[in-house]
Each structure stands twice: as C-alpha cells, then as structure tokens.
Amino acid sequence: MPKHPKSPSSVKYKARVGYEGEYYLVQKFISAGDGFYAVRTPGSGTGKMAKPDIIATDNGELLAIEVKSTRKKYVMLNQDQVNRLLEFCRRFIVKCPRCGVEIKAKPILAVRFLNRGWKFIEVPGDWRGSIIVRVDEASPRLLQSSPSHSDVEAGSSSPKKKALK
C-alpha cells in the first residue's frame, strides 16, 4: 500500500481514506469464504460510465456497492451519484445460461464512519433524490426530488449478511 499523505485536508488524503474503505470492504467479502467475493472498480465516480466502487457476490446475491468514508457525522450521496448507481444496476444483468434467470445487482450504499463503524443501506430501485446518512440515526434520510414519493426508510443500518459483519 502507498504511504499516507501528510495533510488531512489534501485531496490525496481524502482519496486515500476512500480507497482504504473500499479495500477493507473487499477484503471482508473475500475472507468470508465460499459464496462471497468482491472486486474494486478503479475510477468509479469519474467519467461518463456509471459504475459502483465495488461489485460483490454475497451468498448468491449480486451487489453494486457505492462506498463513502468520512470523519464527519454524516454523508450525503447526491442525486447524480444515486442515479449513476441505479443506472448501473439497471444495465448490469447476469443471465444464467442453464435456466435463463436474470440476476440484477442490488444497489447498496456502504458508509464508513471513521472510528465509529459502518452503515449499509439498500437504495430503492425507483429512488429519485439524494440520501443523507447520519452516524447517530437508525435509518437514512432519503430526500425526494419529486413530490410523487413520500419519505421512506431504506432498511436496516446493519446488514444481516455474513460478509459484512
């Protein structure tokens, strides 16, 4: 692993913190054993191609994971980031050659609160808006961009899956 940048306010330091969160999560999947695996997709969030930080399998489920790491008490995934994650999940479909069943990736937001732990949120597939996750709240705030939706809770703040414990 490369050295840590010296200044916590530098762009390189912030990128390093993000990389370490992604790397840690990939290692948790890999070490969980059979049925669990993950790969990091370098350059996610850049360019025009919609792709998550991590693509993983969790005991047969396909996951598209957007990872955010912070020292703050909250993280916000803006509407563009949410749209890119959901677009990837709509387009990245695996079809079983034997039975023809289509397997779609679940959009997951993984938030690493430094020295406080992780929160995992499954993003609703029809979501339109931003998401704010606070370290001290059980459920994230899903901010709607259209009045046709009402506020909803996006599942548990801690996953039940073996790889993410």
Residues annotated catalytic, as ranges? 44
Which amino acid is located at 24 in the chain?
A: Y
Rounded CA-CA distance 80/95 in Å is 28
Rounded CA-CA distance 56/146 in Å is 31
Rounded CA-CA distance 119/138 in Å is 9
- The string of DSSP codes covering 23-61 is HHHHHHHHHT-TTEEEEE-TTTTSSSS---SEEEEETTE
In this structure, the strands spanning 141-144 and 129-134 are antiparallel
- Helix, strand, or coil here: 39? strand
